[in-house]
């Protein structure tokens, strides 16, 4: 008989074609679907390079992205392991193949084992081989050549069950894995090797022969049983003068004699070789499918149970009573990969911005902004409501939900306000870590800010003491004479400066005297400097200082001041940046003052922006924590609410929205929710979140939640009695008082109307107190719905945690379901004048009759417009205690005037801020500040925070 040739080339081509069609179909449904293989090759052996070229070509034909990473044969094992670790951490890579052999100084076992199990498409890793060897094991990948052997048998119609199979060779790459696969297919398997006696007689009994022994023509035809099936895996080169290369490829089987006895046989070449490549592609696609399938699987947050106590203990006692999940578990539950998490201990971590790239094709989750009514001394519980709402959504309604909140400053933590972790059974834990250093972001802001402050003083000092030539030579020093081959070049900061001043030369030696002066001399007018030093402490005695009083400063004194760190423009830059590079560019644009010639001077002109970005490099990554019920919280940025947006960062919102989102082709999946808090009331924090933050981020909210309490609304009644700290509340607030409440609801109605003006659905959260009556709650609900709210829902999350906010959460879900983002509109156009934009905010949001600019304010606006900064969003800095600029005007006053006494510039952050009141940017401490109660116990536990 003459054996039928098993055409591996044709079978492999057909498989590759099916893979290409499969990928095309999946990509038609999801643009993000892109299987990717990386081949790692060490050295340049010609035989390895041939195999690599085959794999690259086959991958291209199958529409699989395939990259080749080559390394010199002298690379150390440690360096190669580091490169593999990077590929393991790259979510866009689905398969990693280390092309064997590797140089002798590198352990093949160590390197192949270093490939992550889920990317080990060659199937050589310990886990995959171990699972394959187990009976009933479940390897993620089967090694490509053994898998190709089995598919060849299957495609050729060979029955394996019950047959005698002989495998010649016991290598970990072919022989051993093939034997496991044949055994698992119910064949009776014999493995022969170099020490096996009587191989021909053993082969003679085989129905199936797999030859992988590495000896050309080893198996003879007369060894074979009549009608046996022969699969030749051998790849041996023998001399052949008829070939251009002087050699030809043959297998382990003497093909001519074997073909006379066997029923089917694979040729060499053209048998198993093409199948090995096809199986590699199949493994890559399977890996990609597994990855994308995992991304589509519904994520599940495992809530922590609460043990509620009555009365509710202190916030720190409640926090201490709960054992938080390890932060890696929190991250895993919401779909953050291990390499995207940078833990800071067990309960907090930073999340890298790689998540945004990995999930860029996802549709965002639902976006909810929480604001409040005009603040009162009684407190509205906005942070507590934010946390309670998310606990209800995630822990009780099984939705993916994030609370996004600001990082609190240590100023108020140790001052009079206390922490900002929420309260009762709706707070971020551990609350002491939340309220203190966290991961050091505020310290990084402080360092970057003060570096720029020092750079300003230093630049003015040296400019005053040097002529243009020496100043230029020190800024752009020529190379030392000992290095004549080194060229003088402009560093990156200098190239940016040259571009800004309109000099297009790139050789430092070609600038003329006028250009040298233009480049090197900033000529800062000290009277125009707006940049101050900062620290994160309430220190009233730094509101005005004089610098430069040491004799070494040669009389270069200047009056300036400190701000609190969260009032730094660096903090606003952090909050509004859309990426690390965007943050770097914003820092470059920060304007610190004006030159004597009237030009703006930036941090980039001074050359400090790059170093500032380096100090803030890690701060740009949002911080992950959890609530009392184990639901995720992003804590990031803490911009001062009076003179900035007073909201957490754009990046935290974007990260959370992607993690809470759904795949583009998954119409059945339920979106999650991101609940982000805005500073103060809607008309300050909410308005800025929409006009400044959303304008910067491009995000549009689905719903706005306005938090109110019955007693806080009563304080907006015109006849409300004053509240004295430390004394019992008047009965006016604690007893049922329907008339006072109706009068005070005008404030709530104004905030609802303002929010509705942006085209966004509004839900009112009635934060309940035990003194509230049902009649009072119904009045608030009626007034809110009349003003345009979708609903007004009481919630008792302070005392009950998420359970007490389930009705509120359902109301928010319903509002989000009805949202139409096409209805969203911003309050003003940036093409209008600064005066018009401020008028729009003051009249439409606050209810003012007119706006008056001081001479100083108008002069500054004219300067900004002249300098090209006239088309920025507006932030009006005023009291938070009234819709007006007068803290004594409660409710919803009308007919008043908003006085604009000054307008300042925050170009890096991207807005102008107009001062309508005396805003202290570094608070003072009271007689009995909060730090008096803070201490540590014998075990090092922090006590006394509130």
Point out the residues that are catalytic: 55, 99, 122
Residue 707's SS3 state is: strand
844, two tokens: 């439409």
DSSP 8-state secondary structure symbol assigned to residue 722: P
Distance CA 32, CA 291 (A): 12
Q: Which of 115, 114, 176, 116 is nearest to 145 (CA)?
A: 176
What span, in angstroms and rounded, lies between the C-alpha atoms of 922 and 540? 6
Residues 6+ away with beta carbon under 8 Å from 235: 249, 251, 268, 273
The first and second tokens of residue 848, run together, are 């003012």
Q: DSSP for 731-752, please give it.
A: HHHHS--HHHHHHHHHHHHHHH
The three-state secondary structure class of 633 is: strand
- Within 10 Å of residue 570's Cβ, how many Cβ atoms? 32
How many C-beta neighbours within 10 Å does residue 768 have?
Answer: 19
Torsion of CA 693, 810, 633, 426, to 10 degrees: 120
Residues 6+ apart with CB under 8 A from 836: 828
Taken in order 427, 428, 432, 437, the sign of the CA dihedral is negative
10 Å Cβ neighbour count for 147? 22
Residues in the chain: 946
Q: Containing H/E element for 84?
A: helix 77-89
**Site of tokens 């709650």:** 777
d(CA 695, CA 244): 68
- Residues 235, 239, 240, 243: what is their CA dihedral angle, to the nearest 10 degrees? 70
Kindly list the distances between the CA atom of residue 579 and the CA atoms of 397, 609, 677, 812, in Å, as whole numbers in the listed order.
Answer: 33, 16, 21, 30
Nearest C-alpha neighbor of 777 from the set 682, 704, 729, 708: 708
User: What are the angstrom distances between the C-alpha of 284 and each of 124, 137, 143, 804, 858?
Assistant: 14, 20, 12, 48, 65
Q: Quote the DSSP letter at residue 423.
A: E
The sign of the dihedral angle between the CA atoms of 650, 652, 655, 659 is: negative
Q: Are 616 and 583 in contact (CB under 8 A)?
A: yes
How many helices (H) and strands (E) the chain has is answered by 35, 36
d(CA 286, CA 274): 19
Write out the two tokens for 475.
């800024």
Q: Could you give the dihedral angle defined by the CA atoms of residues 626, 630, 631 and 633, in that order, rounded to the nearest 10 degrees?
A: 0
Residue spans of beta strands (DSSP E) within 373-444: 401-405, 422-423, 426-429
User: Which residue in 155, 270, 128, 147 sits closest to 210, CA to CA?
Assistant: 147
Q: Three-state secondary structure along 274-288? A: HHHHHHHHHHHHHHH
Taking phi over 0 as left and psi of -120 to 50 as alpha, with beta for the rest, 363 belongs to beta
Distance CA 522, CA 572 (A): 25
Among residues 753, 745, 810, the alpha carbon closest in space to that of 779 is found at 745
């Amino acid at each position: 008989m003459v054996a039928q040739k098993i055409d591996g080339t044709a079978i492999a081509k057909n498989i590759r074609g099916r893979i290409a069609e499969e990928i095309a179909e999946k990509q038609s449904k999801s643009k993000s679907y892109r299987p990717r293989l990386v081949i790692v090759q060490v050295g340049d052996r010609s035989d390895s390079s041939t195999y690599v070229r085959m794999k690259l070509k086959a991958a291209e034909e199958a529409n699989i992205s395939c990259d080749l990473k080559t390394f010199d044969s002298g690379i150390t094992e440690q360096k190669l392991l580091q490169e593999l670790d990077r590929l393991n951490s790259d979510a866009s890579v689905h398969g990693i193949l280390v092309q064997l052999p590797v140089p002798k100084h590198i352990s093949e076992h160590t390197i192949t084992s270093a490939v992550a199990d889920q990317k080990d498409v060659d199937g050589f890793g310990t886990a995959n081989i171990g699972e394959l060897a187990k009976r009933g094991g479940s390897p993620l990948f089967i090694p490509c050549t053994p898998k190709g052997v089995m598919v060849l048998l299957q495609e050729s119609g060979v029955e394996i069950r019950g047959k005698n199979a002989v495998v010649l060779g016991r290598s970990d790459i072919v022989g051993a894995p093939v034997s496991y696969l044949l055994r698992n297919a119910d064949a009776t398997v014999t493995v022969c090797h170099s020490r096996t006696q009587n191989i021909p007689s053993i082969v003679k009994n085989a129905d199936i022969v797999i030859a992988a022994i590495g000896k050309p023509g080893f198996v003879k035809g007369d060894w074979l049983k009549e009608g046996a099936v022969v699969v030749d895996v051998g790849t041996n080169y023998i001399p052949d003068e008829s070939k251009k290369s002087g050699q030809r490829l043959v297998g382990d089987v003497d093909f001519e004699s074997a073909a006379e006895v066997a029923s089917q046989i694979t040729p060499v070449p053209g048998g198993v070789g093409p199948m090995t490549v096809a199986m590699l592609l199949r493994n890559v696609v399977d890996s990609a499918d597994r990855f994308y399938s995992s991304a589509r699987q519904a994520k599940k947050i495992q809530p922590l149970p609460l043990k509620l106590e009555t009365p509710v203990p202190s916030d720190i006692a409640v926090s201490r009573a709960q054992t938080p999940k390890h932060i890696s578990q929190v991250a895993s539950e919401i779909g953050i990969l291990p390499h995207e998490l940078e833990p800071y201990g067990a309960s907090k971590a930073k999340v890298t911005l790689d998540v945004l790239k990995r999930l860029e094709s996802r549709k965002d989750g639902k976006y909810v902004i929480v604001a409040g009514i005009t603040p009162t001394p009684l407190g509205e519980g906005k942070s507590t409501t934010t946390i309670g709402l998310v606990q209800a959504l995630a822990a009780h309604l099984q939705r993916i939900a994030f609370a996004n909140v600001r990082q609190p400053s240590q100023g108020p933590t140790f001052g009079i306000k206390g922490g900002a972790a929420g309260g009762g059974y709706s707070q971020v834990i551990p609350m002491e870590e939340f309220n203190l250093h966290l991961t050091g972001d505020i310290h990084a802001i402080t360092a970057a800010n003060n570096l720029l402050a020092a750079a300003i003083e230093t630049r003015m000092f040296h400019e005053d003491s040097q002529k243009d030539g020496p100043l230029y030579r020190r800024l752009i020093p020529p190379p030392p004479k000992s290095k004549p081959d080194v060229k003088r070049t402009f560093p990156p900061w200098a190239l940016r400066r040259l571009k800004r001043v309109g000099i297009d030369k790139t050789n430092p030696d070609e600038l003329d005297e006028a250009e040298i002066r233009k480049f090197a001399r900033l000529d800062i007018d000290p009277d125009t400097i707006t940049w101050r030093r900062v620290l994160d402490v309430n220190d009233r005695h730094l509101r005005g200082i004089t610098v430069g009083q040491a004799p070494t400063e040669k009389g270069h004194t200047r009056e300036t001041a400190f701000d609190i760190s969260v009032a730094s423009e660096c903090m606003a830059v952090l909050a509004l940046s859309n990426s690390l590079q965007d943050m770097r560019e914003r820092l470059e644009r920060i304007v610190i003052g004006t030159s004597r010639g009237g030009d703006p001077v930036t941090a980039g002109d001074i050359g400090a922006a790059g170093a500032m970005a380096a100090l803030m490099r890690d701060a740009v990554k949002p911080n992950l924590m959890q609530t009392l019920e184990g639901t995720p919280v992003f804590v990031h940025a803490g911009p001062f609410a009076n003179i900035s947006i007073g909201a957490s960062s754009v990046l935290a919102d974007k990260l959370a929205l992607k993690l809470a989102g759904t795949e583009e082709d998954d119409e059945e999946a339920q979106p999650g929710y991101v609940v982000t808090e805005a500073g103060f009331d809607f008309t300050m924090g909410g308005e800025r979140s929409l006009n400044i933050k959303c304008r910067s981020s491009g995000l549009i909210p689905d719903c706005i939640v306005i938090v109110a309490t019955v007693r806080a609304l009563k304080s907006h009644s015109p006849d409300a009695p004053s509240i004295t700290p430390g004394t019992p509340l008047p009965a006016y607030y604690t007893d049922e008082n329907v008339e006072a409440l109706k009068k005070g609801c005008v404030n709530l109605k104004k905030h609802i109307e303002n929010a509705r003006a942006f085209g966004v659905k509004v839900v009112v959260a009635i934060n309940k107190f035990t003194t509230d009556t049902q009649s009072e709650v119904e009045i608030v609900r009626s007034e809110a719905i009349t003003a345009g709210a979708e609903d007004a829902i009481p919630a008792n999350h302070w005392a009950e945690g998420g359970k007490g906010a389930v009705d509120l959460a359902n109301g928010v879900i319903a509002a989000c379901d009805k949202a139409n983002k096409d209805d969203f509109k911003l309050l003003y156009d940036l093409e209008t004048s600064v005066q018009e934009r401020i008028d729009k905010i003051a009249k439409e949001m606050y209810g003012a009759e007119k706006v008056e600019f001081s001479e100083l304010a108008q002069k500054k606006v004219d300067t900004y417009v002249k300098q090209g900064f006239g088309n920025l969003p507006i932030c009006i800095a005023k009291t938070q205690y009234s819709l007006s600029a007068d803290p004594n005007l409660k409710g919803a006053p009308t007919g008043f005037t908003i006085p604009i006494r000054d307008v300042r510039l925050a170009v890096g952050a991207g807005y102008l801020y107009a001062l309508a009141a005396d805003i202290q940017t570094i608070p003072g401490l009271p007689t009995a500040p909060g730090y008096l109660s803070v201490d540590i116990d014998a075990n090092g536990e922090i006590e006394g925070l509130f």
